């Protein structure tokens, strides 16, 4: 997910929560298949508007899970996993979760720290001491200051929030990067890191937040190195499953593929929005299916597939101290030292802290062509996970989803 797209999504979801909701257009005259169950009456506060929104924007399918005190109280599928065959979304539907993958990576890194296998103050390029800058270019000595904690808090120093910044994982790429990487674009995580090792920093590490897929790509390589696997998605995936997911009973999560031939049986079809700018669609690797393997190349920052139940289970286990102890859970959700105390929304490690009416919510979002993901953990510990197999009309949909989300968050029964 690009920096621009992430910021647009975040602003759409988190700004203006108390704007008066305008009436939605009449739902389409078509049935929307609904599967699953709801054991909590609180769903009635938002489900009609949620269904109406799906119909209005022609969202093929969505999955919703609400988990309270480790128990599922809502598990529902809406619409189609495959419009052509009529296959519906079910509780077992595996979706691309895009940048929500960062929560998985952050959890794994903190677990390694808790186990004493690394320290959050460790310098990243001393861990990755076998990497060399691409094409024999000299390494920027300032990158030696970047720590594991800087990566977790997205404060490596490589990116600015002003004009001209780019995402080396997704583009748009600078002329120098195009020349260096050539036909390999989009490049693998390892190759992209090697290119960036010679590039200047815009900020001193640990002093400024800027959304960065590269920071979490680097954390994936750190997991590779510390656990003794080759650089890439395979060793990372294996270790995360064994150490974090399997102990929680999460057995289906895995790194996805953008090649349609590798689509899983329980994975929905992803549908692109034909109103998206043609420049984006012209780049075949941004389409829901291509041979570019963006998910495997972005394994640690955006590659995972999961069900809504998987995500809710993971986040509930985190909140309950079943993955990290209280000390590391506090570190995961603490306010970074460079974030002013007056700020009510900020990135922590693998998620966003958002204050609403004085209450603290923990939010994870993800977006990739053809998919959207959202997880909210309420102050009482209840987790809401929503996944879509469509990303309609840039972020107009998410803007209209905001009032529905507000109702989900403010529901009193869960």
Residue 63 shares a structural domain with residue 115 = no
pLDDT reported for residue 352: 97
Q: Which residue has the tokens 């060793």?
A: 235
DSSP for residue 135 = G
**Four-residue CA torsion sign, 330, 13, 89, 46:** positive
Q: Which pLDDT tens digit goes with each residue over 166-181? A: 788 988 787 878 888 8
Report yes or no: 390 and 370 within 8 Å, Cβ to Cβ.
yes
- Reported as a pLDDT band with limits 50, 70 and 90, residue 20 is very low
Strand, helix or coil for residue 367: strand
- Averaged over 72-93, what is the pLDDT? 96
Whether 394 has a pLDDT exceeding 90, the answer reads: no
Whether 21 has a pLDDT exceeding 60, the answer reads: no
Whether 12 has a pLDDT exceeding 70, the answer reads: no
- Averaged over 263-270, what is the pLDDT? 96
Whether 13 has a pLDDT exceeding 70, the answer reads: no
**Four-residue CA torsion sign, 215, 335, 244, 3:** negative
Instruction: For residues 190 and 203, give the distance between their C-alpha atoms in angstroms, rounded to a whole number.
Output: 22
Domain boundary among 229, 250, 272: 229
Whether 6 has a pLDDT exceeding 50, the answer reads: no
Of the candidates 333, 372, 100, the one whose C-alpha atom is nearest the C-alpha of residue 213 is 100
Residue 83 shares a structural domain with residue 114 = no
Radius of gyration of the chain (CA): 20
Residue 113 inside a domain? The answer is yes
Whether 366 has a pLDDT exceeding 90, the answer reads: yes
DSSP string covering 57-76, please?
Answer: TT--EEEEEEEETTEEEEEE
Whether 11 has a pLDDT exceeding 80, the answer reads: no
Residue 396 shares a structural domain with residue 271 = yes
pLDDT reported for residue 393: 63
- Reported as a pLDDT band with limits 50, 70 and 90, residue 392 is confident
- Report the range of poorest mean pLDDT among 115-119, 155-159, 218-222: 155-159
- Averaged over 383-390, what is the pLDDT? 96
pLDDT reported for residue 276: 52
Domain hosting 258: range is 3-98+241-410
Instruction: Kindly report the CATH number assigned to the domain that includes residue 335.
Output: 3.40.710.10
Q: Which pLDDT tens digit goes with each residue over 189-208? A: 999 999 999 999 999 999 99
Residue 218 inside a domain? The answer is yes
| Cβ-count burial 93-131 (b if 16+ within 10 Å, e if not) | bbbbbbbbbbbbbbbbbbbbbbeeebebeebbbebbeeb
Strand, helix or coil for residue 388: strand
Residue 269 shares a structural domain with residue 368 = yes
Whether 384 has a pLDDT exceeding 90, the answer reads: yes
Instruction: For residues 29 and 140, give the distance between their C-alpha atoms in angstroms, rounded to a whole number.
Output: 60
Work out the number of other CB atoms within 10 angstroms of the CB of residue 298: 28
Number of structural domains the chain divides into: 2
C-alpha distance across the termini of the chain, in Å: 31
Q: Which pLDDT tens digit goes with each residue over 50-65? A: 999 999 888 999 999 9
Whether 36 has a pLDDT exceeding 80, the answer reads: yes
Share of the chain above pLDDT 90, in %: 72
Domain boundary among 207, 229, 251: 229
Residue 328 inside a domain? The answer is yes
pLDDT reported for residue 177: 80
- Averaged over 227-253, what is the pLDDT? 98
Work out the number of other CB atoms within 10 angstroms of the CB of residue 66: 28
Domain boundary among 162, 196, 229: 229
Residue 325 shares a structural domain with residue 195 = no
Instruction: For residues 396 and 114, give the distance between their C-alpha atoms in angstroms, rounded to a whole number.
Output: 41
Whether 28 has a pLDDT exceeding 60, the answer reads: no
Name the average pLDDT for the chain. 88
Residue 394 inside a domain? The answer is yes
pLDDT reported for residue 24: 36
Residue 313 shares a structural domain with residue 343 = yes
Residue 109 shares a structural domain with residue 212 = yes
Residue 19 inside a domain? The answer is yes
The pTM score is 0.92
Whether 8 has a pLDDT exceeding 50, the answer reads: no
Residue 129 shares a structural domain with residue 67 = no
Q: Which pLDDT tens digit goes with each residue over 304-324? A: 999 999 999 999 999 999 999
Residue 40 shares a structural domain with residue 180 = no
- Reported as a pLDDT band with limits 50, 70 and 90, residue 286 is low
pLDDT reported for residue 7: 43
C-alpha triplet 185, 387, 2: angle, nearest 5° = 30
- Averaged over 326-330, what is the pLDDT? 97
Instruction: For residues 154 and 206, give the distance between their C-alpha atoms in angstroms, rounded to a whole number.
Output: 8
Residue 128 shares a structural domain with residue 85 = no
164 CB contacts (<8 Å, ≥6 apart)? Answer: none
pLDDT reported for residue 400: 80
Q: Which residue has the tokens 């979002």?
A: 365
Whether 161 has a pLDDT exceeding 60, the answer reads: no
Residue 142 shares a structural domain with residue 285 = no
- Reported as a pLDDT band with limits 50, 70 and 90, residue 274 is low
Residue 234 inside a domain? The answer is no
Residue 112 shares a structural domain with residue 89 = no
Residue 155 inside a domain? The answer is yes
Share of the chain above pLDDT 70, in %: 87
Strand, helix or coil for residue 310: helix
Residue 297 CA: distances (Å) to CA of 105, 256, 267: 14, 10, 19
- Report the range of poorest mean pLDDT among 119-128, 178-187, 299-308: 178-187
- Report the range of poorest mean pLDDT among 184-193, 196-205, 387-396: 387-396
């Amino acid at each position: 997910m690009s920096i621009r797209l992430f910021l647009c999504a975040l602003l759409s979801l988190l700004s203006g929560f108390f704007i008066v909701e305008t009436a939605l257009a009449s739902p389409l005259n078509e049935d929307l298949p609904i599967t699953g169950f709801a054991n909590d009456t609180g769903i009635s506060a938002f489900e009609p508007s949620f269904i109406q929104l799906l119909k209005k924007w022609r969202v093929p399918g969505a999955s919703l899970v609400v988990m309270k005190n480790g128990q599922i109280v809502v598990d529902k599928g809406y619409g189609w996993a495959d419009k052509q065959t009529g296959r519906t979304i079910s509780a077992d539907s595996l979706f691309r979760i895009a940048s929500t993958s960062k929560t998985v990576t952050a959890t794994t890194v903190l677990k390694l720290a808790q186990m004493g296998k690394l320290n959050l103050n460790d310098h990243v390029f001393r861990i990755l001491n076998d990497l060399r800058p691409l094409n024999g270019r000299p390494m920027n000595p300032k990158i030696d200051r970047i720590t594991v904690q800087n990566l977790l808090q997205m404060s490596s120093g490589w990116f600015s929030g002003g004009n001209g910044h780019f995402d080396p994982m997704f583009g748009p790429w600078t002329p120098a990067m195009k020349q260096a990487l050539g036909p390999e674009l989009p490049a693998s995580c390892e190759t992209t890191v090697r290119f960036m090792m010679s590039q200047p920093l815009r900020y001193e590490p640990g002093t400024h937040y800027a959304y960065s897929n590269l920071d979490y790509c680097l954390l994936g390589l750190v997991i590779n190195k510390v656990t003794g696997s080759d650089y890439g998605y395979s060793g990372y995936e294996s270790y995360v499953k064994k150490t974090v997911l399997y102990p929680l009973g999460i057995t289906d999560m895995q790194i996805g593929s953008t090649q349609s031939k590798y689509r899983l049986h329980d994975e929905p079809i992803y549908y692109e929005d034909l109103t998206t700018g043609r420049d984006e669609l012209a780049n075949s690797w941004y389409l829901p299916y291509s041979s570019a393997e963006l998910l495997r190349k972005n394994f640690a920052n955006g590659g995972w597939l999961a069900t809504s139940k998987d995500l809710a289970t993971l986040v509930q286990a985190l909140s309950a101290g079943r993955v990290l102890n209280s000390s590391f859970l506090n570190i995961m959700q603490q306010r970074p030292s460079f974030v002013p105390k007056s700020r009510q929304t900020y990135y922590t490690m693998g998620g966003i802290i958002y204050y609403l009416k004085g209450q603290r919510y923990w939010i994870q979002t993800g977006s990739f062509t053809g998919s959207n993901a959202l997880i909210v953990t309420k102050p009482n510990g209840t987790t809401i996970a929503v996944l879509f197999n469509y990303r309609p009309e840039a972020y107009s949909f998410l803007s209209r989803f905001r009032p529905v989300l507000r109702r989900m968050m403010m529901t009193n029964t869960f």
